[in-house]
Amino acid sequence: MENFTPMTGLAGGILIGLAATLTLWANGRIAGISGILSGIIFPIAGESQWRALFLLGLLVGAGLYLLVNADLAVDIQASPLWSAIAGLLVGFGTRMGSGCTSGHGICGIARLSRRSFTATLLFMVTAIVTVFVSRHVISGGLQ
């Protein structure tokens, strides 16, 4: 946690919460990224514009952050093949779970959805087990 910055974390959390709230108030929709992207891939009449703008905002926001923080080091340790496989598995999982971490973890928990609490708990437990197994079991035992 050598790069932990509470103020930027707080600012990011506020912006995520604001985006989720505005999406709900303006469109009556949950700001779940997998659902928003799905509505672009499989168009829903009358909803493509706001979905495209939301996704464009994510890309523009990330690009602006990179411009401001040009020294940001990104170290991708997985090959493009493994990254593609992981992306497909995440997409499959979001379909099975009827949503992603943003939809369940941010919006669903804020709405006190029991289903979202359960889904988010399962996301976190799965992530913890996956990291443990990949770092300590597969890569040569406990370190």
- pLDDT in tens for each of the 143 residues of the chain? 466 788 888 988 898 889 888 888 888 888 888 888 888 988 888 888 989 998 999 899 888 988 888 787 778 888 889 889 988 888 888 888 788 888 888 888 888 899 999 989 988 998 899 889 988 888 765 54
Helix axes of 6-27 and 48-68: crossing angle, nearest 10 degrees: 170
Q: CA angle at residue 73 from 32 to 66, to 5 degrees?
A: 55
- Structure tokens belonging to residue 8: 């930027």
128 located within any domain: yes
**Domain count of the chain?**
1
Rounded Cα–Cα distance for residues 100 and 121 (Å): 12
Is residue 123 in some structural domain? Answer: yes
Q: Does residue 142 lie in a domain region?
A: no
* Within-domain flag for 55: yes
Domain hosting 116: range is 6-137
Domain presence at residue 25: yes
Residue 133 domain-assigned (yes or no): yes
CB atoms within 10 A of CB 106: 22
143 in any annotated domain: no
pLDDT of residue 100: 81
Q: Is 1 a domain residue? A: no
Predicted TM-score (pTM) of the model is 0.70
